[in-house]
Structure formats: C-alpha cells, structure tokens
Structure 1
Amino acid sequence: MSKNIKLEHPRDQITRIISRIYQRGMTTTSGGNISVIDDNGDIWVTPSAIDKGSLRASDIICVKKDGTVIGKHKPSSEFPFHKAIYEVRPDIKSVIHAHPPALVSFSIVRQIPNTNIISQAKHICGPIGYATYELPGSNKLGEIIAEEFKKGFKAVIMENHGTVLGGTDLTDAFERFETLEFCARTILYGSQIGTPNYLTDSQIDAFEAQNNEMLPEMETTSHPSDEVEKRLSICKIVQRSCQQGLMISSYGTVSMRWKGNDFLITPTDVCRWDMNLEDIVQIKDGKREVGKKPSRATWIHQEIYKRNPNVNSIIMTQSPYLMAFGVTKSYLNVRTIPESWIFLQDIPSVKYGDHFKTNTNSKITENCTTALIIENDSVLITGDKLLQTFDYLEVAEFSAKSIVLGASLGDMVPINDNQVEELRQKFLA
C-alpha cells in the first residue's frame, strides 16, 4: 500500500517533500522550510542556507525538546514560528513554509485565494488565515502566525512573504500546500482570459453528498500478469502527471480497461505522488476489490467504458491552464497549431453539476470526445492506449498555456476553417 509516513524517519520525510516542492518550482534554492515534530516532542527541521535542490537526510536538524540542537548546520531561521505553531496546536505534527509564486502574488496584494474555485479544495484547505507582516525569523512573526493557528486555521497567508501550512502529518500538510497553490494559480491564469467563477458552498456540499454511494465488494480478486502490467502503467502515468504539474496530491483519476467492461482505477484518499500498485482498485462485474475505495468518479469511467468500446483509458485531472478555462467559462479554441487540433479537435465543456450521477450530461458518458472540460471540477481525456491519452492531456494543457500566455500580447488568431478542413482530409479521413 502507499507509504505509511508514520513509519518513515522525519529526516527522510522532509528531504522527500522539500525535493518535490523544489522540483515543482514552488520554492527557491534558499527559500522555504519544513518541520516535523515527533512523538518525543523533538522537532526535525530543514537547515538554514543549504541548497534545497540537493538536500540530504544528513542535513536535517533535530531541535530537542530541551532546546539542544543536533546536526551539522543551523536550523532554519524561521524555526521560531514552527515551534510556536506546535506549542499552540498539539494536533499539528508538521509545518511547511514556502514562497510559491502564485500564493506570493496573493500575499503582496494582500488577498486570500478563494478555494471555492474547485470542488475539493474547500475541505482540504479549510478556511485560510492571514498574518500581517513582521520581520522574517523574528519571535514577533512567530507570535502572529501562532495566533492565526490558534484560531483553528491550518493554512495562513503571510503578508508580503508567502504561506505557512500545518497538517496531521507531512503528507497532509503537503496536500494542503499543493492544493492551495493550485487554487491560486488557477485564479491567476483564469484572470488573464476572463473572470473566475466560484462555486457556492451548497454546490460543493451537493458534490460531496452525491459521492457517498459505493460499489459492492467482490468476494475474491485475482491478479494475472496482464492485470498487474496495467497497474504498473497507471502508477507510472500518475507519477509523471504529478511531476509535470498535471495532477496534484488531492485530485486525479486514471483508469484502464482490462477485459470487457472490467477496468482498473486509482483509489480515493491516497496521495497521488505516493500511489503504488497495491493501491490500484480492480472493478469487475460492477464490483470493487475487497477493502479498497475506488475514485469517486468510478461510475463515470464505468459508463464511458460501457458506452464507448473504442475508449480503453481515461484520465480525469486538474491541470492549471486547462482549469483556467474551466473556471472562467471561456472557450478553449485548440485551433492554435495543427497538431493540437489533429489530436483534440474541438473541446466542449459542461456545467458544474452535469457530472453528478443524478443528472449526467450525455457529452460526458455517451457522446464521448477526446477532451472535455467540466466547469470548476476537472478535464476529462479519453483514448486508446494510456500513453496516448496522457499525450492528449499534455497537448491540451500546452495549448491552453499558449493561449493564456498569449492573452497579454493580443487576440489569438486561430487557423481558419479551410485550414482545418485540410487537416481533416489528410489526417482524419
């Protein structure tokens, strides 16, 4: 099963997560810090002024409960506010502080991102606190941040500085951090092409309520070699999606048809970064693998496979530039370059709520297109081979990115209808 982070040494947890944050461009070589408090009350923390791009477990500092410092470096200069948070919130066992670009953008205009921009973020991030500016590394800053955490917040925007987040463990803190930065990016990118639209609390509650039904469990499960091979393919694509910013810890579903209408699908409530073969859920004859919770979108995948025999793999995810179109109701015109249109054709969108089981839009499950945007929720990509489907996702995200970035230069000039017809005749006839 996925990593049991409680059985991983704090120094290994920290180096793994700080590397992930750095590689995803959410902190700099010198910026950001992470800590974990263990059951003894000792705090393990990243060192001061050590390259975050090459941090090793031996670099992590331990500050004992009595204040003794163990390690070959100085603890992070921001250690005071880590310590202050743990003192006021015994439920918090890990803290992440960093300067991710989108959240810093909010901090310097002194705003808090509205997490109702996507369906799951409200519950993952919770309400967001706000800490007024104080000198970095000072006890005063620690006091102000601790006061915000004392109010019950687990995520706090730091004025003209960045953000700090806590969690029940480091995986929980990172999921909150990554989700909040994703919300901020989606709002920023969406603002370049239109006006972001936000979900109401009642819409989010309705989404949560309609996801409670579970498939019955199968009595026994077999894992022949072709099934195991598909599990491996899914895990590789999920990992690749996370590394490339096409998926985040808290959201992303990948499935592959196995035999007939039976398929394999990613689980719910498992960090996408750490997913492994044993986490994947087999769906056979309308039943789920014993003891596992498949993605809450399982029924959508099930219906697509039933109604579209040519579809053998599906990816549902939230990638920031595609979601910029999904949250602004802007039309994503992929007639940007020939390759984009050849792979994707035109990308329709459906309203938020059309993906609920009670009122599914036929565009999602019956009239299945290569790519579809579900407003304020996700993008759905279908294809034959899983690698091909992933390629479609990349092409769609790159096309969306080009349009968002180009918006500051002027209006996009797409290839015209005659040029599209030429492409249709040559590549799709």
Structure 2
Amino acid sequence: MPQDLHALLGDLVIANRILAHEGVLDDFGHVAVRHPERPDRFFCSRSRSPELVTRDDLLEFDLDGTPTDPKGLKPYLETVLHARLFAARPDVKATVHHHAPAVLPFTVTDVPLRPVFHMAASLGGPVPVWDSRDEFGDTNMLVDTMAKADSHARALGGGTSVLLRNHGASNAAHSLPALVFIAVRMMQNAELQYRSMSLGTPRFLTEGEIRLTADMQMSERPLDRAWAYYRARAGYGGI
C-alpha cells in the first residue's frame, strides 16, 4: 500500500473518532475520503458507529457506491450519498453526513442557518436545505438510492454544507482536516445562532467577510493547527 494512502486511511479512522468525540457524530453518521490516486474511488467504513471504526472496517467503493471488495462486510445504507457527492464534485476529497443535535432545529423550521461568527465562515451564505419530498414524496428519509443521492448533491451545489429537512446535514471539503473543521464549526455556529436569537436578531457575517475569512481558514496553517488540536482532544496527540 502506498505510504500516502496508508496515512490517509489512518486519518479517515481518526476523523471518525474526532467527529464522534466532538458530538457531530453519534451512533449514526459516516465519513468518506476520496482515493488519492484513483479519483473514481473512495473509502468509507462498513456499517459501524463512527466512534468504533478501525482500519479493518474500511472499504473501497466506486462512484456508484458499490464496494470493489465487500470482504463480507455490510456497508452503510447511505454510502451512495458520498459516492454521488464525489461524482458531482471533482474538487471534493472528503465528505461527512451527520445528525448533530444543534443543527437539527434548522432542519425542522424555516429559519436559515447562516454564519454568525467568524470561525464558521466556511459554511458560506445561508445553508441550503434539501427536502426529499420535492422529488420523491414520502420516503424512509435515507439517502439510499442513486436518484436521491444525485438530488442531494445538486442541493449542495458548489458549497461546503447542506441541511436535510427533518434529518441532518452533510459537509464536503478538500481534505479531512478541512472537513472536520467545517463540520465542528457548523455545529458550533448552530448553537450560537440559536442562543443569539433568544436575545434578538443576530448580526450575521457579510458576504465579503465570509469569502475572505473562509479562504484564510481553509489554508494550510489554520487547518494544521485545528487538525492537531482535534486529534489531541480525541486521544491522538503527540509530543
């Protein structure tokens, strides 16, 4: 196994553990990363709670969500969600789908989730909401078919984040460290926006502030610092 792929798969396990430790993921939700040498392939765990994911749980998939070697393991029912995000967005290298409790109020009301503090600038403007009923009527509310996954990817568009009506959220980024940063800050922004609304109308970031701040935060130095911090909090620190 090439060393960069070996390291990337280790980071995928760590990203699962970090997002579980930070409360973005619980017993459900999942993280995926694109193959560094095969853009038509990606890796995701078998169906297992993120806090328990190990290297042995990781499977390789094509962009239809089909495992190249199932190894007798059962994948997540929503693996195709990641497959079609990677298919729609060649720039995306890592994805997560979650049900962070702080985010859920913005999936069950018409209040837009918007960046309200600078560390959440990577959310972009108001986060779009994907409603499966628009195309599919009543469903089991999982993104478990190609058609639903493609619709979900269209709702994400060129951004980093999308809410799923009465369900949860998905995030996409150019790396696992960036993905962790965006998902955690999305949760924190939701908490802060909700609390601020009890005091009055929040002051949101301007379009210019969002663009300039997100560009800075998605660069190497801030992401290296944040990734080291979250790794340490999840028990993967070092001296």
1:15-414 pair list within 5 angstroms = 15-29=13-27, 31-38=28-35, 39-40=37-38, 41-48=40-47, 50-64=48-62, 67=66, 68-115=68-115, 117-122=116-121, 124-127=122-125, 128-133=127-132, 135-136=141-142, 137-149=144-156, 151-192=157-198, 194-201=199-206, 204=209, 268-274=222-228
Is the Cα–Cα contact under 8 Å of residues 63 and 83 in structure 2 kept in the other structure? no
TM-score for the superposition, normalised by structure 2: 0.76
Structure-2 separation of matches of 1:207 and 1:45:
32
Report deviation, 1:8.
5.2
Residue matched to 1:287: none
**Distance in 2, Cα, partners of 1:54 & 1:167:** 23
Which deviations, in whole Å up to 9, do the C-alpha atoms of 1:344-401 show, x marking residues without a partner? xxxxxxxxxxxxxxxxxxxxxxxxxxxxxxxxxxxxxxxxxxxxxxxxxxxxxxxxxx
**Alpha-carbon distance change, 139 to 183 in structure 1, aligned in 2, over 3 angstroms:** same
Q: 1:101 to 1:205 in 2, by over 3 A?
A: closer
Given residue 77 of structure 2, which amino acid in structure 1 is its aligned partner? S
Partner of 1:244: none
Deviation at 1:181, TM superposition (A): 1.1
Contact 1:110 1:160 in 2 (8 A): no
Q: Is the 8 A contact 1:59 1:72 kept in 2?
A: no
Q: Aligned letter for 1:141?
A: K
Letter in 1 for 2:149: G
- SS in structure 1 at match of 2:224: coil
Local SS of the residue matching 1:61: strand
Structure 1 distance, partners of 2:56, 2:211, is: 47
Report the Cα distance in structure 2 between the residues aligned to 1:47 and 1:206, rounded to whole angstroms. 36
Residue 164 of structure 1: how far off its partner (Å)? 0.5
Say if 1:112 and 1:157, in contact at 8 Å, map to a contact too.
Answer: no
Measure, in 2, the Cα distance between the counterparts of 1:189 and 1:206.
24
Secondary structure of the structure 2 residue equivalent to 1:160? coil
**Contact (CA 8 Å) 2:196, 2:202: kept in 1 or not?**
no
RMSD: 3.0
Deviation string, structure 1 residues 287-331 (Cα, Å, up to 9, x no partner)? xxxxxxxxxxxxxxxxxxxxxxxxxxxxxxxxxxxxxxxxxxxxx
In structure 2, distance between residues paired with 1:87 and 1:206: 25
**Identity %, equivalent residues:** 15
- Residue 103 (structure 1) shift: 1.0
The answer to whether the 8 A contact 1:155-1:166 is kept is yes
| 1:138 CA drift (Å) | 2.8
Q: How far does residue 83 in structure 1 lie from its aligned partner after superposition?
A: 0.9
In 2, distance between residues paired with 1:200 and 1:36? 30
CA contact (8 A) 1:64 1:70 kept: no
**Distance of aligned partners of 1:45 and 1:206 in 2 relative to their CA distance in 1, 3 Å threshold:** closer
Pairs aligned (count): 211
Instruction: State the distance in 2 between where 1:77 and 1:132 align.
Output: 19
Q: Given the superposition, is the C-alpha separation of residues 106 and 206 from structure 1 closer, same or farther in structure 2, using an over 3 Å criterion?
A: closer
Contact 1:10 1:44 in 2 (8 A): no
- Give, in whole Å, the separation in 2 of the partners of 1:142 and 1:89: 13
Shift of 1:180: 1.2
Cα distance per residue 1:108-127 (max 9 Å; x no partner): 22443111x112422x2223
Deviation for aligned residue 1:146 = 1.5
AA aligned to 2:145 is: S
Deviation at 1:79, TM superposition (A): 1.1
Q: Hey, what's the Cα distance between the residues in 1 that align with 2:211 and 2:80?
A: 41
Distance change (3 Å), C-alpha of 1:204 and 1:189: same
Q: CA deviation at 1:37?
A: 1.3
2:173–2:179 Cα contact (<8 Å) kept: yes
- Matches of 1:177 and 1:108 in 2, distance apart? 19
Question: Structure 2, unaligned stretches of length 5 or more?
Answer: 133-138, 231-239
**Whole-angstrom CA distance in 2 between matches of 1:275 and 1:27:** 18
Compute the displacement of 1:153 (Å).
1.9
